Amino acid sequence: MFSVFLVLVLCFIKINCFVCWDFSILTLDMGVSLVFDRLSFYFLSTVALVFSSVLMYSHGYMLASLSRRGFLMLMWGFGFSMILLVFGSSMFWVMVGWDGLGMFSYFLILFNKNWLGIKSSFITFFTNRFGDMLILLSLWFFMSFYSSMYLSPVESFGFVFLLIMGVISKSAQFPFSFWLPEAMAAPTPVSSLVHSSTLVTAGVYVLCRFYPFFMDFTFMCLKVLSSLTILVGAISAFAEMDLKKVVAYSTMSHISLMVFFISIGSIDSAMIHMMMHAFFKSMLFMAAGAVIYSSNSAQDFRISFVPDASAKFIFVFPCFCMCGIPFFSGGCSKELLLAVMLNYVSDMFIMLLFLLAAGTSAAYSVRMCKLLCSPDSSNFFSYKVFPFLNALWSSFLTNVFSSSFLTGALLQNKMYEPLLLTGSLKLLMLFSVIMMITLGISIYFMTGGNGELFSTSFMSMPALLYIVKFGSFLLMKHYKVTNNFMDVWVKKISDYSEWTVSAMLSTMIGPVKLLFFTAAFMAIL
């Protein structure tokens, strides 16, 4: 309840100010400068609601864990880093919060201490470190030429391009989108907080902060990268049979939708969709955790089972939001996005891309619900009572009412100008949702009831190369020799005592190959 009260206070308050606090530790003088404005208040209110719901959920989910106290301390450290990122007005404190997000996410993914968690944490850590390096290079580039009082077009391009590439690495945009499905090895409360509404949206927040520095070529880069990520996320969500990875690909697609609307200049609509997405996606992750718990940690659609009617309802409700059904939070935000598209965008390709992104979420949401609620999968496991079901219901009620409060606050503060749609245009989104729901049901029945589509062709992110008919280029003899040499060389660079580290590094070969060949393919085009 305190989080709901905090949301009401932060959303209806109108203030823009800077606070500076100077202090000294021994002989070291330091200062903290914070910014309090509309953007930081809205973002913090969203994080506060999701964080409180996930903490309630974590107490029940980690009840049998001996390291529950350490897990909660890591979660609080992650939340404090998010506060530094949101309220920091200087680049020093923004980077402290940014690095804190990467560090605490690494430890949270590594929490289970199994081989899958170790591999996934290293992939996430190295990807985020690469993005942080690009951001630091952009800041060094800017400070090196700042004394000249004028940045040439080449210098401006270098500063903004490095900043954009560093920021999108945290938001899992193409070509850095491979780390988000791997991060699903973390416990479900981590995925519900870190990989739905905080870590992946931190890049969206930084893009909104640095929006005045962007130029036309920056918006074009964001459009291209977000469009590719929308297509990759939609195709991969249809192909994946792992429950949490399907939700991860859905998150990737929705984050790219926010980045896309930032690229066309509609920051307010991107922030509204970010808030609504944070609520139903965190709830969807928590409901997925209930499914996994009841299935003896099984995450495969073909054997997972939801025995309790309450858990079924809680899982289906965020799927309805993700579908964009009217009168749900996802439907309200997608209707706003449609209004922005029809009023400010005249490109038919962009309009079709938006309808594809908004509609495919309905298709794979229906596919998930049909597979999980199918009676054919009800003979694998026995009934279990979830110890965290009360917390899940509490988070459900909190998210439902808080979304109404936030929508009222946004309208009260006139965050965006009113956009009017005719009745026929309002039916356009509903027609797209109905068509994609029909597509999802058709895919379920076309695949014989198991929902396994594109079983081998689209199961991994590097399969995008085969979609563009570039895979035959990789199968040529000398390139196969080169790839095999890379695999063998990475394993042989260390002795047997360091074999584990070598194996961790070898898992990075796939993403490195993907980045290399993608860059070569783009250069050829």
pLDDT at residue 174 greater than cutoff 60: yes
One-letter amino acid at 106 equals: Y
Q: How far apart are CA 451 and CA 446, in angstroms?
A: 8
Q: How far apart are CA 517 and CA 484, in angstroms?
A: 15
pLDDT at residue 458 greater than cutoff 70: no
Q: Tell how far CA 159 is from the center of its chain.
A: 25
Return the pLDDT at 210.
79
Identify the top-confidence range among 38-42, 148-152, 411-415, 474-478: 38-42
Q: How confident is the model at residue 144 (pLDDT cuts 50, 70, 90)?
A: low
Return the pLDDT at 18.
59
Task: Decide if 285 contacts 181 (C-beta within 8 A).
Answer: no
Kindly state the percentage of the chain with pLDDT values over 70: 57
Return the pLDDT at 82.
85
Mean pLDDT of 177-188: 80
Name the one residue in this structure whose structure tokens are 């949702």.
Answer: 433
Between 137 and 12, residue with greater pLDDT: 137
Ranking 141-145, 170-174, 205-209 by mean pLDDT, the lowest is 141-145
* pLDDT tens-place string over residues 284-326: 888 877 777 766 666 666 655 555 566 667 777 778 778 777 7
Q: What is the mean pLDDT of the chain?
A: 68
Task: Decide if 19 contacts 33 (C-beta within 8 A).
Answer: yes
Mean pLDDT of 105-115: 80
Name the one residue in this structure whose structure tokens are 């689209």.
Answer: 458
The torsion angles phi and psi of 384, rounded to 5 degrees, stand at -135, 150
Q: Where are the alpha helices (DSSP H) in 458-498?
A: 464-467, 471-474, 477-492
pLDDT at residue 524 greater than cutoff 50: no
The β-bridge partners of 32 are 21
Return the pLDDT at 309.
62
Ranking 174-188, 341-355, 398-412, 506-520 by mean pLDDT, the lowest is 506-520
Return the pLDDT at 440.
60
Task: Decide if 238 contacts 318 (C-beta within 8 A).
Answer: no
3-state secondary structure (DSSP) of residue 280: helix
Q: How far apart are CA 64 and CA 160, in angstroms?
A: 47
pLDDT at residue 509 greater than cutoff 60: no
Q: How confident is the model at residue 12 (pLDDT cuts 50, 70, 90)?
A: low
pLDDT at residue 222 greater than cutoff 50: yes
pLDDT at residue 253 greater than cutoff 80: yes
Return the pLDDT at 389.
58
Return the pLDDT at 71.
83
Peptide bond into 307 cis (omega under 30): no
Q: How confident is the model at residue 408 (pLDDT cuts 50, 70, 90)?
A: low
Q: What are the boundaries of each domain within the chain? A: 2-467, 474-524
Ranking 4-18, 68-82, 446-460, 484-498 by mean pLDDT, the lowest is 484-498
Task: Decide if 48 contacts 9 (C-beta within 8 A).
Answer: no
Cα 398-402-407 angle, rounded to 5 deg:
160
